[in-house]
């Protein structure tokens, strides 16, 4: 019989190098165990996995909704995320080290694109506030920006030089620390696919989908409002706040209803995408801001 100490010793010596070899080979490890958090109720049918993983918006890979083939060429290991700016402890984390350090859970959230399609997805991931606690934002930090990877070899969209690459999105520190702000590393119980923003992205379920930057490589805390990608392209249509509101029309269409991916059913859109109980307090003193995209 194997001696337990010898076994543990061997495990400790072998596992990290095995993990490193896997990383070097670009292998994405399976998701850790994750309990579904029932505090966040879907209130809708979960969107079929096929629809949610094949109808995508990811301009780095092209402007159509059909970018799976292009995205599948993106290597997702090794992958690091740099967290810097106005923090006491700036750090760069390997994605798998980060996943081991943080509490991982499953949450079913609704996502409402500004183009009026919507989906309901079981995401696996961590609350962004848990990551920010590791780096300790300073009291001067007011905003957080999220930068997407720029990989010209696999992202044909980057050749469209009129777009302001890299893709940057942002929010306030209060929004980033809100309990709803989530960083998925998976969906439908599987590692997040490249087309959905693997190996990890951010989601703000109460904001239009364009705020949820994909394939993030850098998170920066600042005292200046980040100029987000879509705002730079078309400021009249895509604001900084972009909270979902059925009564405030997009310049080119009504936002009163939305089309569910999968069934194609049209349903009424809700204020803050139905998450007002968690987030309306963030906006009480901001009535003069353009809070709705």
For residue 15 the two structure tokens come to 């596992």
From residue 69 to residue 108, what is the string marking binding to ligand MTE with x (rule CB under 6 A)? ----------------------------------------
By the rule CB under 6 A, 203 interacts with ligand MTE: no
By the rule CB under 5 A, 113 interacts with Mo ion: yes
H-helix segments, the chain? 4-24, 49-54, 68-71, 95-101, 128-135, 173-177, 229-233, 276-279
By the rule CB under 5 A, 210 interacts with Mo ion: yes
Nearest distance, CB of residue 22 and ligand MTE, angstroms:
25
- The gap between the terminal CA atoms of the chain, to the nearest Å, is 65
Residue whose token pair is 């896997």:
22
By the rule CB under 5 A, 229 interacts with Mo ion: no
Cis amide prior to 193 (ω within 30 degrees)? no
The radius of gyration of the chain from alpha carbons, rounded to an integer in Å, stands at: 20
Among 31, 34, 56, 219, binds ligand MTE (CB under 6 A): 56
Nearest distance, CB of residue 44 and ligand MTE, angstroms:
15
Could you give the C-alpha distances from 38 to 105, 182, 265, in angstroms and in order? 10, 15, 25
Strand, helix or coil for residue 105: strand
Cis amide prior to 78 (ω within 30 degrees)? yes
By the rule CB under 6 A, 196 interacts with ligand MTE: yes
Closer to ligand MTE by CB, 58 or 126: give it.
Answer: 58
Nearest distance, CB of residue 208 and Mo ion, angstroms:
6
Closer to ligand MTE by CB, 28 or 86: give it.
Answer: 28
Applying CB under 6 A, the span of 85-93, 126-134, 137-145, 204-212 interacting with ligand MTE comes to 204-212
Closer to ligand MTE by CB, 19 or 62: give it.
Answer: 62
Residue 67: closest CA among 132, 151, 155, 162? 155
Residue 67: closest CA among 80, 54, 77? 54
By the rule CB under 6 A, 113 interacts with ligand MTE: yes
Residue whose token pair is 């209803």:
257
Applying CB under 5 A, the span of 110-118, 160-168, 269-277, 279-287 interacting with Mo ion comes to 110-118
- Kindly list the residues in this chain that would bind ligand MTE in the complex (CB under 6 A): 56-60, 113, 148, 167, 196-197, 209-210, 212-214
Q: Which residues bind Mo ion (CB under 5 A)?
A: 57, 113, 209-210
């Amino acid at each position: 019989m194997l001696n337990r100490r010898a076994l543990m010793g061997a495990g400790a010596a072998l596992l990290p190098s095995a993990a490193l070899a896997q990383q070097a080979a670009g292998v994405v490890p399976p998701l850790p165990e994750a309990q579904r958090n029932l505090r966040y109720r879907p209130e809708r049918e979960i969107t079929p996995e096929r629809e949610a993983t094949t109808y995508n918006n990811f301009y780095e890979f092209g402007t159509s909704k059909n970018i799976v083939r292009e995205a599948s060429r993106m290597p997702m290991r090794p992958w690091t995320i740099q967290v810097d700016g106005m923090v006491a402890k700036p750090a760069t984390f390997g994605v798998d080290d980060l996943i081991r350090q943080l509490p991982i859970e499953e949450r079913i959230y609704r996502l409402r694109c500004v183009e009026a399609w919507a989906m309901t997805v079981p995401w696996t991931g961590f609350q962004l506030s848990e990551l920010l606690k590791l780096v300790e934002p300073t009291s001067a930090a007011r905003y957080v920006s999220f930068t997407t990877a720029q990989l010209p070899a696999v992202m044909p969209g980057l050749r469209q030089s009129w777009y302001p690459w890299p893709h940057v999105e942002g929010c306030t520190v209060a929004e980033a620390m809100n309990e709803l702000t989530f960083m998925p590393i998976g969906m439908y119980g599987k590692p997040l696919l490249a087309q959905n923003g693997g190996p990890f992205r951010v989601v703000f379920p109460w904001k239009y989908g364009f705020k949820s930057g994909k394939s993030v490589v850098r998170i920066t805390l600042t005292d200046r409002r980040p100029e987000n990608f879509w705002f730079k392209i078309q400021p009249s249509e895509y604001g900084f706040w972009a909270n979902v509101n059925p009564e405030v029309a997009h310049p080119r269409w009504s936002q009163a209803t939305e089309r569910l991916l999968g069934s194609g059913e049209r349903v009424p859109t809700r204020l803050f995408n139905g998450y007002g109980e968690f987030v309306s307090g963030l906006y009480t003193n901001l009535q003069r801001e353009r809070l709705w995209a």
